[in-house]
Amino acid sequence: MYTEQPIPTIHVEGIQPSTRQRSFSISNLVKRTRRAYSVSSAYPTQRQPLIHLPPSSSDLTLPDLTPTQRRNSIAASQRKYEDLEQKMEAAPLFVLVSTYLNYFILIIFGHLRDILGKMFKHKKYAHLRATEGYAPLVSDFDSFYTRRMDCWNRPMTGVPGRKIKILERESKDFNQTFSLTGRTIEATNFSSYNYLGFAQSEGYCADQVETCVNEYGLSSSSTRMEAGTLDIHRALEKQVAQFVGKEDAIVVSMGFATNSTTIPALVNKGCLIISDELNHSSIIFGVRLSGASVRVFKHNNMVDLKNVLREAISQGQPRTHRPWKKILVIVEGLYSMEGSIVNLPELLKLKREYKFYLYVDEAHSIGALGEHGGGVCDFYGINPKHVDILMGTFTKSFGAAGGYIAGDKAVIDHLRLTNHAFTYAETMSPAIIQQVSASMAIIRGQDGTQDGADRIRTLAENSRYFASALRKLGFIVYGDEGSPVIPLLLFNPAKIS
């Protein structure tokens, strides 16, 4: 049974009431009620089949569309992005001054304390200073904030549902060490990305996982290249490919490694990667490992991306000025810290003009965006075939672990031989496979119920309502409309901790 209502993820960066008027980049406020994701009717009541509509511009497979119809389709997709886009609101001057002053005092006194501690308290600060000719293994900078503010790495217990239980802890040495008190604190959960509420300890998915463990055990104890490929691995890959609208897919056991090991398998020296400046660290890690040249464009700014493309193509490779072997543009469908949704219609226009490959990270958008949970392509009504590589993870909407790469069969076959997370890493656990398969079946309506459609609709309604209510209360909230990621700014460190 469905026991958890989907709730939006809120990335708390600060709480500070604001009296300033909010400015929205909405093309026509009068037409707000016509938005596809209004609170009252976020999605259709009757579930429709998982069908991805034609792309926003020239789809050569649809000769019956007139040029006027094509232009109208492009304009409709672009208007949808303009309607959901929100401008970043600036904080009041008093808030900025007090915040910077607080952090300035914290940093100055913190570094002063570390310096004096290394000089006069050798034993206590031994892990941060050179000892007997050995350099310290840990950096005092990396742990600077965690040693002073108790708001990270909180131990939890139980299921990350609407409510979450925090293990209470205390410190008697200024956060250098902690001890558990044996008590728990029940709190409203805005921190996890259990978007659709599938991370449950009971219900249909949990029952399916239990049955799978009884049949397959917990691990295949091998890699996919050897004896680790089970029939349920291939079944899940086919299921994922059908769900996202691509020819084939591979699944790996770690979400971070999905990006960091796939990108080096696609590009190398002589290639160019153009990356959004706010891409996830797993993408940055993979870009560095690839050995390809890198250019960065302003966040979700298609004008800046066009300028970067024109300059990079005209100049060619460094020193030799030879043409690039290939150009790969990497973006995220839904940015996990900003709550912004990629401007995919404009991005595909540039793709058709400049002939680059497009890699979209849908870690947070798959399952959480679109009328059928199909991600950012489903959200805009764009055919997924126009995106070369679709990446996603199972840790968010599916309540599991691991990730996938979906694309053309030739590309996926290549990754099966060159992706280190696929060839060398431990395979995905059968329990995780079944959790993903069961939750995906519910989202697609293959369980014969409306449970999946209801979860998606509820998430959209809750996200819009929650963000709108916070703005009405005067809080500074970032993120595009309809985004399940809602950054709430807290500013002052005392309010964070």
* CATH number where 424 lies: 3.40.640.10
What is the C-alpha to C-alpha distance for residues 362 and 357, in angstroms, rounded to an integer?
16
Q: What is the per-residue pLDDT for 495?
A: 79
Q: Is residue 326 part of a domain?
A: yes
Q: What is the per-residue pLDDT for 406?
A: 98
Q: What is the per-residue pLDDT for 309?
A: 98
Q: Is residue 254 part of a domain?
A: yes
Contact 259, 280 (CB under 8 A): yes
The DSSP bridge pattern shows strands 403-407 and 488-489 to be unpaired
Q: Is residue 105 part of a domain?
A: no
Q: What is the per-residue pLDDT for 75?
A: 59
Q: What is the per-residue pLDDT for 79?
A: 60
Q: Is residue 368 part of a domain?
A: yes
**Tokens of residue 291, six digits:** 């050995």
Domain residue limits at 50: 21-88+196-475
Q: Residue 214: exposed, middle, or buried by beta-carbon count in 10 A (0-12, 13-18, 19+)?
A: exposed
Q: What is the per-residue pLDDT for 33?
A: 31
Q: Is residue 211 part of a domain?
A: yes
Q: Is residue 185 part of a domain?
A: no
What is the C-alpha to C-alpha distance for residues 3 and 185, in angstroms, rounded to an integer?
21
Q: Is residue 3 part of a domain?
A: no
What residues in the chain have per-residue pLDDT under 70? Answer: 1-87, 497
What is the C-alpha to C-alpha distance for residues 141 and 127, in angstroms, rounded to an integer?
12
Give me the number of domains the chain comprises: 1
What is the C-alpha to C-alpha distance for residues 76 and 54, in angstroms, rounded to an integer?
12
Q: What is the per-residue pLDDT for 123?
A: 84
Q: What is the per-residue pLDDT for 354?
A: 96
Q: Is residue 190 part of a domain?
A: no
